């Protein structure tokens, strides 16, 4: 007897073949997990379990001239995973680690593999070996991201001197619009390598990814409360002292004079390998939910509690890879609404990039902008990135400070536009300082803002036409920008 998952998969694959009862199929709706603002009706939702099934789906869709969209864990909020009336491929069953070169630290896994699965696989393989490999970075805030999705958004983590994820990718296998497998590396199909990383799934389906791992290290957390005006200097000092990771969680209390101007500065420094790893204090999911509830209702108290907890963990030790794993509550919005009531809402994210010398001034003006707009910040952090000189559509055009804002957004036309207005204002503040923003989280930027931050965007759309002339790989994100830049 088929399991429920096998039944869904078999039914979905069968649905690619026209049949007499096609008009009776129930509508299929999908959405992103965080903002819940991208509800989209798709033609089919397929769950392939092998690369060969992935190839057959593409070939079948091409014969029928049907558009394909691809989703992993659905964290992106700009509509990159879905396209109205497309065949939507869910890659999460493509989750096998296929090879691990322990001499060179190269690990290959299928594109639907999520980061915790990858980490568990290489840790189990290495056992208690003296020489151990681990990931250099992953995106923060959640773990349930697929490798293919992370590659397609060219994510980054909390590394103090790291470039985006492209710097850790040795190569990948892509399935093009004809169902042909193409191996992409820096010295093989170089243009596709550069454009598919950060290409949001528009140039083909990622089948497998090979990551370059780095030696695992033991780290000690060092925590202090500092002011934003000192942050750029303190980052420089931590880098000079060989700290590897770090971030700054700023005050979200808009009623305080310290709004965005004071924060928890946590950095991680390697220490002698013969000492044990000891991290007794850890926030559980319920703790995070309590912090979120406070952030919705009393942001001053929420920041005070968060700061107190992090200060209490000063000196704890961690492994450099597993320390990057973090809790995430995919149903946070529903639980919070049940606890505190109110209209339907969620958090929408933007990530703004500014030159590091301009960071303090940017935060000061951002605080004024958000206050004047009446926008509530539920969570925010500052990290660093080094310049990405490899991808075609780099968001890290320089060595930036990365400022992340989670804005409370009501699910009404007025509520969404209020957040959009604040996001556009923040982007203008960044542009005025030679900065930029991340395309992943929303489609609120004006055309001139997109063009200023991504001057090669029209060429990006031209290359889409070059590699996929039939427009097989689609998304609502792509359709929006194709129209925005038409003519």
Q: Is pLDDT of 10 > 50?
A: no
Residues 390 and 417 in one domain: yes
Residues 203 and 226 in one domain: no
Residues 160 and 125 in one domain: yes
- The pTM for the full model equals 0.93
Is residue 453 included in any domain, yes or no? no
If you average pLDDT over residues 85-107, what whole number do you get? 98
What CATH number is given to the structural domain containing 433?
Answer: 3.30.70.2520
Residues 128 and 71 in one domain: no
Of the three residues 91, 112, 143, the one that is the final residue of a domain is 91
Residues 409 and 309 in one domain: yes
Domain range for 377:
218-320+331-442
Is residue 33 included in any domain, yes or no? yes
If you average pLDDT over residues 102-108, what whole number do you get? 97
Is residue 483 included in any domain, yes or no? no
Is residue 231 included in any domain, yes or no? yes
Q: Is pLDDT of 113 > 80?
A: yes
Q: Is pLDDT of 487 > 70?
A: no
In 181-273, beta strands by DSSP E = 181-185, 205-212, 214-215, 218-227, 245-250, 262-270
Of the three residues 427, 442, 457, the one that is the final residue of a domain is 442
Distances (CA, A) of 459 to 36, 55, 238, 373: 31, 28, 39, 35
Residues 338 and 381 in one domain: yes
The phi and psi torsions of 293 (rounded to 5 degrees) equal -60, -45
Of the three residues 56, 76, 91, the one that is the final residue of a domain is 91
Q: Give tens-digit pLDDT for 344-386.
A: 999 999 999 999 999 999 999 999 999 999 999 999 999 999 9
Residues 174 and 306 in one domain: no
Can you read off the two tokens belonging to residue 181? 């497998």
Is residue 472 included in any domain, yes or no? no
Residues 291 and 209 in one domain: no
Is residue 461 included in any domain, yes or no? no
Beta-carbon neighbour count of residue 470 at 10 Å?
11
What's the angle, vertex CA 256, arms to CA 250 and CA 261, rounded to 5? 35
Q: Give tens-digit pLDDT for 164-215.
A: 999 999 999 999 999 999 999 999 999 999 999 999 999 999 999 999 999 9
Residues 103 and 194 in one domain: yes
Is residue 473 included in any domain, yes or no? no
Tokens 């990135």 correspond to 385
Distances (CA, A) of 336 to 35, 177, 195, 202, 316: 14, 43, 39, 35, 31
**pLDDT at residue 25, rounded to an integer:** 63
What CATH number is given to the structural domain containing 54?
Answer: 3.30.43.10
Return the percentage of the chain with pLDDT > 90, whole number. Answer: 90
What CATH number is given to the structural domain containing 118?
Answer: 3.30.465.10
* Domain tally, the chain: 3
* Alpha helix stretches (DSSP H) within 96-230: 115-126, 147-153, 190-196
Residues 176 and 58 in one domain: no
If you average pLDDT over residues 97-125, what whole number do you get? 98
User: What is the end-to-end Cα distance of the chain in Å, rounded?
Assistant: 55
If you average pLDDT over residues 410-422, what whole number do you get? 98
If you average pLDDT over every residue of the chain, what do you get? 94
Residues 227 and 310 in one domain: yes
Residues 162 and 310 in one domain: no
């Amino acid at each position: 007897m088929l399991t429920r998952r096998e039944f869904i998969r078999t039914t979905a694959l069968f649905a690619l073949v026209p049949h007499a009862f096609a008009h009776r199929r129930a509508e299929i709706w999908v959405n992103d997990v965080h903002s819940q603002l991208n509800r989209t009706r798709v033609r089919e939702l397929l769950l392939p379990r092998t690369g060969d099934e992935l190839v057959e789906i593409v070939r079948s869709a091409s014969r029928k001239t049907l558009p394909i969209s691809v989703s992993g864990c659905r964290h992106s909020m700009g509509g990159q995973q879905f396209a109205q009336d497309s065949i939507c491929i869910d890659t999460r069953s493509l989750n096998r680690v296929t090879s691990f070169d322990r001499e060179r630290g190269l690990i290959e896994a299928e594109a639907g593999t999520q980061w915790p699965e990858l980490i568990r696989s290489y840790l189990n393989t290495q056992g208690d070996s003296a020489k151990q490999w681990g990931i250099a970075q992953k995106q923060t805030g959640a773990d349930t991201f697929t490798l293919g999705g992370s590659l397609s958004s060219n994510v980054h983590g909390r590394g103090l001197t790291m470039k985006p994820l492209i710097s850790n990718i040795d190569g990948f296998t892509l399935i093009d619009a004809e169902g042909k497998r193409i191996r992409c590396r820096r010295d093989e199909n170089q243009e596709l390598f550069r454009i598919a990383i950060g290409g949001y799934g528009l140039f083909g389906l990622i089948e497998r990814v090979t990551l370059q791992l780095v030696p695992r290290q033991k780290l000690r957390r060092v925590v202090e409360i500092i002011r934003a005006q000192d942050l750029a200097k303190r980052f420089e000092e931590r880098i000079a002292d060989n700290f590897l990771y770090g971030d700054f969680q700023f005050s979200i209390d808009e009623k305080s004079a310290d709004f965005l101007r004071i924060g928890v500065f946590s950095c991680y420094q390697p220490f002698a390998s013969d000492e044990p790893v000891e991290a007794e204090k850890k926030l559980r999911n319920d703790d995070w939910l309590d912090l979120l509830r406070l952030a919705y209702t009393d942001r001053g108290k929420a920041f005070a509690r968060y700061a107190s907890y992090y200060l209490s963990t000063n000196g704890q030790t961690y492994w450099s890879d597993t320390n990057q794993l973090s809790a995430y509550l995919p149903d946070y919005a529903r639980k919070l609404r049940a606890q505190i009531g109110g209209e339907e809402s969620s958090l929408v994210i933007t990530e703004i990039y500014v030159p590091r010398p301009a960071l303090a001034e940017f935060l000061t003006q951002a605080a004024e902008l958000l206050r004047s707009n009446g926008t509530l910040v539920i969570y925010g952090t500052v990290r660093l990135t080094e310049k990405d000189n490899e991808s075609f559509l780099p968001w890290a055009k320089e060595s930036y400070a990365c400022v992340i804002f989670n804005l409370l957004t009501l699910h009404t036309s007025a509520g969404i536009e209020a957040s959009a207005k604040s996001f556009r204002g923040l982007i203008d503040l960044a542009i005025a300082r030679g900065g930029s923003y991340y395309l992943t989280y929303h489609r609120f930027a004006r055309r001139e803002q997109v063009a200023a931050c991504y001057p090669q965007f029209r060429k990006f759309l031209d290359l889409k036409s070059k590699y996929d002339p039939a427009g097989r790989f689609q998304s609502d994100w792509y359709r929006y920008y194709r129209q925005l830049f038409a003519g």
